[in-house]
Amino acid sequence: MVDASLKRPLSFDVNGKTVNVDVAPMARLLDVLREDLHLTGAKEGCGEGECGACAVIVDDKLVNSCLIPALQARGASVRTIEGVAKGDVLHDVQKAFLTWGGAQCGICTPGMVLAAVSLLEKNPKPTEQDVRVALAGNLCRCTGYMKIFESVLKACETAMARESASEAAR
């Protein structure tokens, strides 16, 4: 029998801070974030990588944290929903979800926001099709999705408007 009580040390960065924690060998990154680090923004929706509610960004890659053994994140830099806003200032995507009704019950929201943030960091001017593809791994049962596309596209508009304003200022 595997002695699951033999915990292993794990050191990694979470939202810019180094974290040291002892974890069970096959503990999922999701559970370490939620139970050990009390970062409950990442949700478990399926435990099988189908729904995206547990999405986090590990070294600039969007991953389902329910599929990642925590020890695989050793030395990595992990960004969770709690690290998306800068202090009290919400990210464009968060603001847009709030204003355009992208968030409803709130379970899919963290994963959706991170998927959108990850998309916009790679592709600041996505088409609606790009948005649908980027969010394809995230399921929602409340919103009917439409307001989620609207939110992401509005966030792009905001970011682009700010960019052109700052260009004009230069």
Judged by CB under 8 A, does residue 126 bind other proteins?
no
Phi, psi (deg, nearest 5) at residue 9: -75, 140
State in angstroms the smallest separation of the CB of 123 from other proteins: 16
Strand order in the sheet with 8-14: 17-23, 8-14, 77-79, 55-58, 61-64
Contacts with other proteins in 22-81 (CB under 8 A)?
24, 26-27, 31, 34-35, 38-48, 50-51, 53, 80-81
Q: Which stretch binds other proteins (CB under 8 A): 14-22, 57-65, 134-142, 155-163?
A: 134-142
Whether residue 73 contacts residue 36, with contact meaning beta carbons closer than 8 Å, is answered with no
In sequence order, which residues have a C-beta less than 8 Å from that of residue 101 and are 6 or more positions away? 143, 147, 150, 151
Q: Which stretch binds other proteins (CB under 8 A): 57-65, 106-114, 118-126, 156-164?
A: 106-114
Task: Let me know how many helices (H) and strands (E) the chain has, helices first.
Answer: 5, 5
Judged by CB under 8 A, does residue 154 bind other proteins?
no
Count of residues in contact with other proteins, rule CB under 8 A: 62
Helices (H), the chain: 29-31, 92-100, 109-122, 128-134, 146-169
Judged by CB under 8 A, does residue 1 bind other proteins?
yes
Binding other proteins by CB under 8 A: which of 37, 67, 76, 139? 139
In sequence order, which residues have a C-beta less than 8 Å from that of residue 3 and are 6 or more positions away? none
Q: Under the rule (CB under 8 A), what is the footprint of other proteins?
A: 1-5, 24, 26-27, 31, 34-35, 38-48, 50-51, 53, 80-82, 84-85, 90, 94-95, 97-99, 101-110, 113, 132, 135-136, 138-149
